[in-house]
């Protein structure tokens, strides 16, 4: 039975102050619209053309390659059991939302980098980082939740990732006496952006939840930044859209650690919005406009926020 999408009135009221007035109806409409499934081809295990794979051909599944993530495809036909296919279980491809592929793509580590994924579970982003690095260099994948660590281990093993060491520590004070070239902080958040995939994800949404996540994110990003080498790069991302969990967190970092640069994020062929620099009575650092907001009604994707930070 199809679940009804639940969007609280308080959520709608809040986003009327964030989204352009002429777009708010479209925004709410897309929040209620089912998300198109997508896959990421895992080139660590599969080198061919996935569209020619026997499973997709025999089941007449239509795949559309995504221009800005060449390893990714939208599934443009009805399919219900793709997660139980032999190809998926062998790690030839991974079911993953397109928005969640972008932080790894923007961090863009090379084969010589030492990378930290500070809040890594369930592991899709870690695995994509390893894929971009051709399983070379080193990734430290950390997560505080030992139950989610089991999923992380399974994901990396299934996808053939071999350049990664797993830790289970609190990201707020994570320290293994090592500095990193590249760090990904895909922070725990209120998950406003995933309502298209999980219709009941906003049922417990509240401003208090947003504030509590913002407080946690500020602690995490401060430690993440301190673990960077000079000239190192930190990508901060969330699958949520509240400014308190996004621009406010970056503004907090700038005030605490002013020796940084917010680099411009531009994804060709994707209709993103700039980072917000004014919200209610708050004014954020003007350079935060270089971050991107991914709105469902502009992209037909999950809601997301991504900011790229350089230590200088």
271: β partners = none
Q: What is the CATH number of the domain that holds 78?
A: 3.30.70.1170
Measure the CA–CA gap between 112 and 222, rounded to whole angstroms.
Answer: 25
Handedness of CA 270, 271, 274, 276 (dihedral sign): negative
Residue 111 main-chain phi, psi, to 5 deg: -70, -10
Q: Which residues contact 33 (CB under 8 A, 6 or more apart)?
A: 196, 296
- Catalytic positions are 239
Entry pTM: 0.97
Same domain, 87 and 137: no
Same domain, 173 and 288: yes
pLDDT mean for each 10 residues of the chain (312 residues): 85 96 97 96 96 90 95 90 90 97 98 98 98 98 96 98 98 96 98 96 97 98 98 98 98 97 96 97 97 98 98 94
Q: Does residue 178 contact residue 167 with C-beta atoms inside 8 Å?
A: no
Domain-located, residue 204? yes
Same domain, 148 and 192: yes
The tens digit of pLDDT for each residue in 234-288 reads 999 999 999 999 999 999 999 999 999 999 999 999 999 999 999 999 999 999 9
**Beta-sheet pairing, 260-263 with 273-274:** unpaired
Q: What is the domain range of residue 56?
A: 36-96
The tens digit of pLDDT for each residue in 84-102 reads 899 999 999 999 999 999 9
Same domain, 131 and 68: no
Same domain, 147 and 215: yes
Same domain, 125 and 86: no
Same domain, 74 and 29: no
Domain-located, residue 43? yes
């Amino acid at each position: 039975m199809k679940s009804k999408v639940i969007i609280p009135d308080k959520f709608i009221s809040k986003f009327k102050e964030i989204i352009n007035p002429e777009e708010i109806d479209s925004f709410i409409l897309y929040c209620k619209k089912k998300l198109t499934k997508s896959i990421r081809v895992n080139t660590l295990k599969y080198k061919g053309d996935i569209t020619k794979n026997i499973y997709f051909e025999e089941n007449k599944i239509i795949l559309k390659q995504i221009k800005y993530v060449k390893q990714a495809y939208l599934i443009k036909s009805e399919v219900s059991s793709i997660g139980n296919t032999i190809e998926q279980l062998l790690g030839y491809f991974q079911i993953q939302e397109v928005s969640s592929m972008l932080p790894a793509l923007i961090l863009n580590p090379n084969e010589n980098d030492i990378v930290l994924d500070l809040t890594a579970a369930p592991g899709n982003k870690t695995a994509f980082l390893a894929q971009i690095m051709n399983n070379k260099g080193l990734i430290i994948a950390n997560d505080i939740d030992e139950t989610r660590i089991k999923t992380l281990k399974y994901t990396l093993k299934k996808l053939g990732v071999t350049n990664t060491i797993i830790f289970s520590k609190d990201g707020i004070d994570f320290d293994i006496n090592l500095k990193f070239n590249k760090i990904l902080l895909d922070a725990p958040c209120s998950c406003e952006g995933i309502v298209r995939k999980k219709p009941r994800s906003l049922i417990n949404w509240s401003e208090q939840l947003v504030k509590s996540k913002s407080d946690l994110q500020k602690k995490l990003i401060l430690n993440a930044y301190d673990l960077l080498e000079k000239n190192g790069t930190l990508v901060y991302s969330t699958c949520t859209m509240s400014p308190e969990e996004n621009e406010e967190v970056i503004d907090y970092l700038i005030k605490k650690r002013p020796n940084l640069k917010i680099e411009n994020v531009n994804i060709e062929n994707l209709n993103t919005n700039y980072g917000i620099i004014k919200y209610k009575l708050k004014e954020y650092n003007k350079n935060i406009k270089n971050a991107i907001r991914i709105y469902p009604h502009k992209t037909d994707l999950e809601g997301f926020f991504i900011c790229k930070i350089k230590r200088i």
